[in-house]
C-alpha cells in the first residue's frame, strides 16, 4: 500500500497529523471523509504520483492525527481549524500553492481551505459533497430519512455509546472492498473510542460553527476563486436530494465543472482509475495563477 510513499507524524502549530506523501511534480493534497483515514486513497494516490507530489493526511480528529480538545462551540473540530492544518502542513512540506481534492467530510475542509486561503489553492475538486449551509437549508423529509446521521451524530454522548458497542458492525466495510491494509488501518481507527469522539465532533461542528462560517461567506458575497471540479456518485444520494448538483455549487464558484461517476459513495476505493484520470485532467488544466486570477 502506497509503495514509494513516506509515512510520518508531522507536528504543526495546532495539531500533529499522520501523513503519507510521495511522488514528484506539482503538489496535490487529498482529504478523506468519514469514517475513513488517509488510506482510502491508496488506489488513487500512486496514479496521481506519476505526475504530482501527493500528500494524504489523516484530518485532525481522525485516524492517527490529533484529537482536538472539546469546547462548547466545537471550534477545534471546525473546518476552518482543519483548513489551517492543511495550509500549515503543505507549507511544512515546502508547498505554498497546491491543488486540493476532498471527499465526503473532507470535501467540507477542502471547501473551507480554498475559501479561507484563496491564494494557496490552484484547483479544488469536491467529491460527493455540497456546502454545509446548502445541505441544511435544503433539508427535507428525504434528507432527514437518508442523512439522519447528521443529526444523531451531533447529539451529546449517545452516538459514542451506540457506535462504540460494535464499531465495525456500525460502519461496515470489508478487506475485499477496501484492500486488506486499508481495511486494517480503518478498523484500528474506528475501534479507538477517542477517534470515534473526534469524528463525531466533526459533525457537531458542522451544525454549529461551520454553518455560521458558510453563512458569513454568503452574506459577504465570497466565492471560490480557483477552478472547481465537482464529482458525485450516481449510486449515492446527491442527485436524488438535489437534482442538478452543479446548480447547488454555481453560486459559490467562479469556474465550475463536474459530472457524476458510475459508482457508490467511496469512489476512491470503487473506481480509482476513473477518478484518478478525471483528477489528472482537471489538475493539468488552467488553475489559479500566482496573481490570484484564473489562468
Q: Cite the active site residues.
A: 104, 265
Please provide residue 99's backbone torsions phi and psi, each rounded to the nearest 5 degrees: -85, 160
Burial of 257 (0-12, 13-18, 19+ CB in 10 A): middle
> What percent of the chain is helix, strand and coil (3-state, nearest 5)?
45, 20, 35
DSSP state at residue 125? E
- C-alpha span between 158 and 137 (Å, rounded): 25
Closest CA to 275 of 76, 15, 43: 43
| DSSP calls for 153-181 | HTSSSHHHHHHHT-HHHHH---HHHH-HH
- Residue that is written with C-alpha cell 453560486 in the block: 251
- C-alpha span between 245 and 216 (Å, rounded): 22
- C-alpha span between 255 and 271 (Å, rounded): 25
Residues 6+ away with beta carbon under 8 Å from 212: none
CA 237 distance to own-chain centroid: 17
Closest CA to 212 of 118, 14, 73: 73
> Half-sphere exposure of residue 87, counting CA atoms within 13 Å on the CB side?
19
Amino acid at each position: 500500500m502506497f509503495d514509494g510513499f513516506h509515512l510520518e507524524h508531522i507536528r504543526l502549530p495546532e495539531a500533529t497529523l499522520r501523513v503519507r506523501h510521495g511522488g514528484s511534480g506539482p503538489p496535490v493534497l487529498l482529504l478523506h471523509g468519514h469514517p475513513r483515514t488517509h488510506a482510502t486513497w491508496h488506489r488513487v494516490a500512486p496514479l496521481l504520483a506519476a505526475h504530482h507530489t501527493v500528500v494524504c493526511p489523516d484530518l485532525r480528529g481522525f485516524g492517527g492525527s490529533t484529537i482536538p480538545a472539546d469546547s462548547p462551540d466545537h471550534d477545534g473540530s471546525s473546518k476552518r481549524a482543519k483548513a489551517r492544518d492543511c495550509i500549515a502542513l503543505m507549507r511544512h512540506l515546502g508547498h505554498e500553492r497546491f491543488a486540493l481534492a476532498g471527499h465526503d467530510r473532507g470535501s467540507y475542509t477542502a471547501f473551507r481551505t480554498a475559501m479561507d486561503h484563496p491564494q494557496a489553492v490552484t484547483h479544488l475538486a469536491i467529491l460527493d459533497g455540497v456546502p454545509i449551509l446548502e445541505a441544511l437549508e435544503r433539508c427535507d423529509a428525504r434528507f432527514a430519512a437518508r442523512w439522519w446521521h447528521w443529526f444523531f451524530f451531533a447529539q451529546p454522548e449517545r452516538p459514542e455509546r451506540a457506535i462504540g458497542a460494535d464499531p465495525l458492525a456500525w460502519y461496515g466495510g470489508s478487506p475485499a472492498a477496501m484492500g486488506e491494509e486499508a481495511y486494517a488501518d480503518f478498523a484500528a481507527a474506528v475501534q479507538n473510542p477517542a477517534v470515534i469522539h473526534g469524528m463525531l465532533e466533526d459533525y457537531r461542528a458542522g451544525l454549529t460553527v461551520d454553518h455560521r462560517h458558510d453563512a458569513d461567506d454568503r452574506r459577504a458575497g465570497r466565492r471560490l476563486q480557483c477552478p472547481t471540479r465537482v464529482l458525485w456518485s450516481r449510486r449515492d444520494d446527491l442527485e436524488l436530494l438535489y437534482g442538478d448538483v452543479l446548480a447547488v455549487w454555481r453560486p459559490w464558484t467562479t469556474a465550475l465543472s463536474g459530472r457524476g461517476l458510475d459508482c457508490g459513495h467511496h469512489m476512491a476505493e470503487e473506481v480509482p482509475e476513473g477518478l484518478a484520470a478525471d483528477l489528472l485532467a482537471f489538475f493539468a488544466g488552467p488553475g489559479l495563477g500566482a496573481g490570484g486570477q484564473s489562468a
